[in-house]
Structure formats: C-alpha cells, structure tokens
Amino acid sequence: MKKRIVVALGGNALGGNLPEQMEAVKTTVKAIADLIEADHEVVIAHGNGPQVGMIQNAMTELTRSNPEKYPMVPLSVCTAMSQGYIGYDLQNELREELLDRGINKGVAMLLTQVEVDPKDPAFDNPTKPIGAFMSKEEAEELAKSKGYKIVEDAGRGYRRVVASPRPISIVEIDTIKALVDADKIVIACGGGGIPVFKTEGNNLKGAGAVIDKDFAAECMAEALDADFLIILTAVEKVAINFGKPNEEWLGSLTPEEAKKYCAAGEFAPGSMLPKVEAAVKFAESKEGRVALITLLEKARDGIEGKTGTTIKM
C-alpha cells in the first residue's frame, strides 16, 4: 500500500567533504529511489554534522585573515549553506536515478527554517556533535585555542558540540505540503533546519545552534501526517548492551519499552539516543504511525517488516 514516508539521512552518511559526498549520494539515492519506485510518497531530511563544522571552520579562518572585511558568519548561516550544497547533490543525483528508472518526478530542495525556543535549556548545555572526528590531542588543542566544548563521541573519536534545541514548528511547512500533495519529492529540513526564533513583529532571527535532524524530521513527519518515519543510521537494528558480550539487537518495540531503555542509559547521547527518542515521539503522536530505525540499504526491507527496529503503539 502507498505510504507517506519521511526519511532522515545522517550527515555522516553523506561524507566528510565534497568529493566524499558526491560519491556517497550515488549510493544514497538508490535506496530512496527504491521507495519511490514502490509508489510511496517520500520526503527527505538530512543531517549536516560534518558539513556545517567544515563550513564554519572555513568561515572562521576567513574572518581571522581579515576581520574587518569578513565579519564572523553565524552558525545559522552556515546551516543554510550546508542545506544548499548537500541538497544540490541529493536532488541532482536522485533526479538522475529516477529518470534512469523511467520515473519522471520533480525533485526539489527547499531551504527550510525551523522555529526554536530561545529559552530552551539546550542553549546552556551543548550536546550536538558537529565537524570532523579528532584525536584527543587535537580536541584539547581546539578547546584551548577556540574555547569550543569538545566531547568523546560514542567511541569514534572527539568532536565539537553545540546547542541542539528541540524544534517547535517548521516555517515553510505549507510549501512542503503543497509540493508533496502535488506528487513532488521534497528535500527539506536539511541539517535539522535553519534554527530561528521569533522577535518583534514577524521577524525571525537565526539562533547559534544546530537542530538534531531526527527531531526535525519527526516534527515534519507529524505535520505532514506521514505514515512512516525512517531514521537511517550505521546499524541495521538498535541494540541494548551495545558492544558488550551480551549485546542484543531489537526488532519491534513499543514506545514504553523504548522509553525504559532510554531511561536506563542504553543509548549514547548525540548518537542513538536522539534517534530512539524521535522515533518514540512519532509513534506516540497518532495510532498507526510507525517509526523505523535501520541501515540505508535496508530501508525498503524495513518498510516491508523484514528487518530494522520498528517502534509503534
């Protein structure tokens, strides 16, 4: 049966630099095209952790070279830049893949703003990893020279972390809905969306943060009344006791079961935890909605109930 699906792609799955990204999206779009070929409506969100860090580092170096000519570029603007260059590759490769399969559908990347609360406690407790992985020595030097907060990221190395407030609403949601209803494929909420908050009148001001793409995708999935939220990651299923001798891979969970594992500290913050929390929120939002966490190449099998971790009431 035809489903409306929001797919959340991890920023790390898109490569750490431009050549890697151009190569990675060739594989990424094949899995997405499989869902479209199966006659599902697909909306794509993506992360930008490596990319936004790379962009901000480049902008910072430019500012250092000539601060009067090149003022500091806000993190929100760096997110907008990342939306453009990631979306550019995704929409071109997906369009080509679909045409190669004889499917003539419009694909559009929409620059997307996402409203956050300026009083969100996340601004006082940065947790969202961005930029490249570093050694401990590199991390200590960056923390000392730039004052960044650096954390160890799920055993994979050290990364800078920034504030990650929860999304309240998607500014361009009516436009996204119109495109989806017109049978177009939309790439939106890239990098979790450009974080903004309301000021005087109708003004929106950029926030110095990066919204977690899984929560942004969940917010969009609810607003679009989607049937499925697919959160793609580096493992086929969610595990408890991850990396330990008693590691256990999970197939189907209720929101209550998933919450218990979250409370027990089974999932790493900044890694699997936000994915599970976003999946729970979507599954609880309406009877019949299903969240799926799995590998990119297993997305279609997951929709068919063959693999992945599903969370549903």
DSSP 72: P
Q: Position 32: which residue type?
A: I
Q: Take residue 150 and report the two structure tokens written for it.
A: 């650096």
- Give pTM, 2 decimals: 0.89
- Active-site residues, by number, are 11-12, 128, 213, 275
Q: What element of type H or E holds 272? A: helix 272-285
Distance between CA atoms of 73 and 225, rounded to whole angstroms?
A: 36
Residue ranges per structural domain of the chain: 4-125+163-238+273-311
The CATH code for residues 4-125+163-238+273-311 is: 3.40.1160.10
Each residue's pLDDT, cut to its tens digit, for the chain (313 residues) gives: 889 999 999 866 687 778 888 888 998 999 999 999 999 999 999 998 788 888 888 888 888 788 889 888 888 999 999 999 999 999 999 999 999 999 999 999 999 999 999 999 999 988 777 776 778 888 888 788 777 788 887 677 888 888 889 999 999 999 999 999 999 999 999 999 999 999 988 999 999 888 999 999 999 999 999 999 999 988 899 999 988 999 999 999 999 999 999 999 999 887 899 999 999 999 999 999 999 999 988 988 999 889 999 999 9
If 0-12 CB within 10 Å is exposed, 13-18 middle and 19+ buried, where does residue 5 land? buried
Cβ(165)–Cβ(147) below 8 Å: no
